[in-house]
Structure formats: C-alpha cells, structure tokens
Amino acid sequence: MRLVEKNRDKQDPDPVALACYGLLRTDTNRVLLRFVDGRPISEVTISFLEWVCQELKGEGKKALLLVWDNASWHISHLVTNWIKAHNTITKRESGIRILSCLLPVKSPWLNPIEPCWVHGKRAIVEPEGKLTAQETRERVYDYFGCPHLEPLTIAKEVA
C-alpha cells in the first residue's frame, strides 16, 4: 500500500502533526505512551520522565535504562541537568535512578522502539481519508493497549 500525503485544509483546527513520547519496556514488552500538547521540548521530556518514574516506582522498580537518540529534547542541558539532579535526590531518598544511553547519530535501527513505531503507524493509518488528531490518539493508544491519558503539557508561568 502506498500512502500519499493529502492536502491540508487551511480551516482545519487540528494540528499538522502530533508528538508522542514512548518507552518500550523490555521487561513486559509493553509500551508506555504519552502524547504532547504542542512540540516535544525539554520541559515536556522532563514531565514524561517524571511520569515514567512514578509508574515504575509504583511497580517497585529501582532503575530506568533509557536508550534514546540524539533528539535535541533528549540531550539538552535542561534534561541532562534534570537527570543528574534527579539521580542525586534518588541516592538520598527512594526513587527510580535513570541511566541514559545515547545511540550513535543517524542510527535509528539500533533503537528497539523504532519497529514498534513503524508497525503502529501502519496499523492505524486510514488510506481513504484523514484522521482527526483525536482519532489518531485513540487508535495509537488502542493499538499499543495503553490507557487514554491527557497529553503532557508544560505549566505556563503566571505573570
């Protein structure tokens, strides 16, 4: 099946693209997913990591090994400093220690979650029409068997 990019209606209120964070758990062969309200930026990456740590801590896990690419929102100073601070606090208190391993540049085939994304995209696509953002989110959550959660956002500062 060949997919052709459809023209976008300028009146369409839906975003042009959706951002989604995913974590493939090799212990359960399940994927943890959270969509993003807006673009994937460092602050949202931190929110995702906090959420993942809460989920894993609830299961009694002690550490999270992250294997991820060199996306700017993964390797920013804000994220790397947050991980260092998080691990420092985790040494003093109970929590999930995070070990981050970066993949070589331009080598997505080494990332174990990439085949999941490919199969997921193929499973949810609608060749005859365009899905709304909400339909896309629902299909992705259903395909991966994940709860339908609110998208991650960054807290807006109050002026």
**Which domains are seen in the chain, by residue range?**
19-144 (3.30.420.10)
Strand-strand pairing, 63-68 and 97-102: parallel
110, pLDDT greater than 80 = yes
pLDDT class of 156 with cuts at 50, 70, 90: very low
| Beta-carbon-side half-sphere exposure of residue 138 (alpha carbons within 13 Å) | 5
Residue 97 is predicted with a pLDDT of 96
5, pLDDT greater than 70 = no
Most confident of 66-70, 95-99, 130-134: 95-99
State the Cα–Cα distance between residues 22 and 105, nearest whole angstrom: 19
| Beta-carbon-side half-sphere exposure of residue 41 (alpha carbons within 13 Å) | 7
